[in-house]
Chain A
């Protein structure tokens, strides 16, 4: 491999280099058909820092442009858009974290996510320990006895997780409310037809298709493949099914007065099991691809952030499925504490980890669909 060294860059250096590279790309434009980022770039004659963040989040790191680039390293122009844009996204996440002091968690995100996970699991054991005694904790509780709630009252669980979750959502919302105007758009324009188009692109991962023919992107290596998109779909839809599982369970609990645990063929269980399987296959596949990926495509200091979220999702799913299988045995307490510990860690790190990529990318996609309707100033036939 001819991977140019991935040097650490100061913020100003990063923005300047992105502006330089975008000038090269804009004078060339051969990659226009690969994704939405290049047509968005071609609408501009110069690039402000805001544009750099917008285009950075529109890039899906598919790699097609790097392998096609006549100016890629070792060429002296050193054009490597996928890696550069990954670095820019890292900056977006850091700068738009709320509260901003916690943006520092991106400096060493893998370590941060690991420590928060360890802390969360320990906390859950401590809570379970404080509420029960060893005998009860390690005893088998049947479904009829309320299983989990024999160890941890429902309201405590719901209260604790609900509060953390609401905080995470609020924190993400603060990112949204600041980043959208930063890109130069009116808030009201977000909630129009382009939102549906942006969601379509996000739900289909159209931009990982490598162009009109959707043959796939060049990841983890130069050969076109749809494998990354497939694993991401497993992950994303797995996550959504788990969310559906929790939501239906909440409705059952509060509106239908029908508390957990639920039988295997109930909606929460079906959603949860399918979602859980998705969250095993997807993250495992994406982690595996990461070990195979061409190092040129990656910003090396982001491996921890990427892996952090994937490992978290995988562990939540693994322990959730374990909990389902062994819920009537003496091991249930242990499974429960570990599972809830990982879930808590996910909620806590949602606004300070890789999870935010979905939000910023969706915003960039919506912005693209907003601006693509606007006329471009004409240039002389080139």
Chain B
């Protein structure tokens, strides 16, 4: 077991992509590294377990990445989803870094694969991991073990001792006992707080009770809380996060990607009063899925129902739960436990507003839209009139929160006096808010984790070894 008298070069708190990148970089630079992962081994890796790709800038085609995805376009995409809530200097540094980090990833055992079925639109911007994020995490752990990183599971860090701007030691529980670990530097990469329901409730009020936690149940934000209490400068706010509308029948925690429902843009979505509340056809689902979690969170009882008819079945990625199915809209409403009269009225109004003569094509932004309807449906608006009818209940599904600690371009944690710490670094979701103040771009979580994890490890090693 652990030698408690030893002073390590680097302590890494957390065990996901960012933590592993930091541990590997520091170890490669010659540091002695201890990594404390709070989760048990089968659940190691935090939310990285659920990921599948890395959003990569590239000025020319790179093996599996087609065409180009230049810096400016990546930056504009980020600017658009965040509405400017980003740090341009850090963001540009990060997206440039993504164009050159993949060979290092491959060296540590990560393998890439051509884009998956149904994801062709991402073939230009995102590099997919063979086997997904858990395969990536497995590869990094193997590599870290081979290189001699000391790895401990179910090792929960509960406190961090800081003197002024300097990290001294950390306290953690493991095997029923409390231990102390000293290190010359620390990388904090233990995620956001999405699995902490009390904290979510503090931020969102009673509505949070109806949220599903799509991400890992092990990110409770305990160390985030400690750091903020001990003088770290906060970034973003507790209401911001990656929040998607997912199937209401999903498990409370850890449902991952398969809980998504891609039917939204091809039908209508109503709330518990059977009323529509947003333009379902505003844009392609991949560009809109990240706003629907918040939209549903804003509805009474935080529930929505995606309703489609037989015409569009088979035209979206198959969700994991079978749809609720009925011969008539009345029957469907009864099965969904919403008011049948109200649903019939909403659908009748919608159908009447569908502009005649449009040519439905779900693979482009077609010309099927509603006229004089509030809210409108601007694409893929077809009458819902062909039995059987199908419904998918929706809840807000939160993957990770953006509230975090501020960092500089060396991934050093910034204190409330705007000065960086000497030897405290942060990477991954715990500092994602620096780049991603709101919204989401597919694959950017892994970009943040990989880039800031690598920088944190490198800078920590420089600090320790000079």
Contacts and interface: CB of A to CB of B under 8 A. Distances in A.
Interface string B95-131: 0000000000000000101101111110000001111
B387 interface: no
A380 B256 contact: no
Contacts of B118: 29, 42, 379, 381-382
Interface residues of A, number: 41
B316 A70 contact: no
B81 interface: no
A39 interface: yes
Contacts of B9: none
A213 interface: yes
Contacts of A382: 118-119, 262, 285-286, 316-317
Nearest to B364: A381
User: Residue among B119, B121, B256 with the most chain A CB within 10 A?
Assistant: B256
Given A27-B319, A30-B52, A211-B111, A64 B131 contact: yes
Interface in B364-395: none
Nearest to B312: A380
Interface string B251-283: 100101110101001100000000000000000
A378 interface: yes
Contacts of B5: none
B42 A67 contact: no
B318 A211 contact: no
Interface in B271-321: 284-286, 314-320
B132 interface: yes
Interface in A53-111: 64-65, 67-76
B113 A212 contact: yes
B258 A379 contact: no
A333 to B, nearest CB: 55
A380 B265 contact: yes
A45 to B, nearest CB: 5
Interface residues on B, range: 35 or more
B117 A32 contact: yes
Contact of A65 (B52, B121, B131, B266): B131
A26 B317 CA distance: 8
Interface stretch (B133-141, B159-167, B345-353, B433-441): B133-141
A65 B121 CA distance: 24
Interface string A203-233: 0000000011101000000110000000000
B381 to A, nearest CB: 14
B318 A381 contact: no
User: Residue among A42, A68, A69, A223 with the most chain B CB within 10 A?
Assistant: A68
A28 interface: yes
Contact of B116 (A32, A67, A223): A32
A234 B256 CA distance: 42
A2 interface: yes
A45 B258 contact: no
B4 interface: no
A33 interface: yes
Contacts of A377: 314-315
A72 B42 contact: yes
Given A32-B117, A33-B114, A70-B49, A27 B318 contact: yes
A24 interface: yes
Contacts of A23: 318, 320, 322
A34 B131 contact: yes
B311 to A, nearest CB: 13
A31 B257 CA distance: 13
The main secondary structure of chain A at its interface with chain B is loop
A378 B361 CA distance: 10
Contacts of A68: 130-132, 134-135, 138
A341 to B, nearest CB: 46
Contact of B134 (A39, A69, A76, A211): A69
B362 interface: yes
A189 interface: no
B138 A67 contact: yes
Contacts of A76: 251, 254
Nearest to B289: A382
A45 B320 contact: no
Interface string A304-329: 00000000000000000000000000
A204 to B, nearest CB: 19
A379 B113 contact: no
Nearest to A20: B320
B58 to A, nearest CB: 20
Contacts of B262: 379-380, 382
A373 to B, nearest CB: 16
Contact of B257 (A27, A65, A72): A27
A64 B42 CA distance: 15
Nearest to A43: B117
Interface in A244-294: none
A213 B64 CA distance: 13
Contacts of B111: 33, 211, 213, 215
A46 interface: yes
Contacts of B133: 30, 70
A381 B121 contact: yes
A70 B317 contact: no
A45 B285 contact: no
Interface string B317-346: 111101000000000000000000000000
B320 A379 contact: no
B362 A380 contact: yes
Contacts of B260: 27
25 contacts: A27-B318, A28-B257, A28-B258, A29-B116, A31-B132, A33-B114, A33-B131, A45-B318, A68-B131, A70-B49, A70-B50, A71-B256, A71-B258, A74-B42, A211-B111, A376-B117, A379-B118, A380-B284, A380-B285, A380-B317, A381-B120, A381-B121, A382-B119, A382-B262, A382-B316
Given A26-B318, A75-B254, A380-B316, 16 more contacts: A27-B257, A29-B118, A30-B129, A30-B132, A30-B135, A31-B132, A33-B111, A42-B118, A68-B131, A70-B49, A74-B42, A223-B142, A378-B315, A379-B316, A380-B317, A380-B363
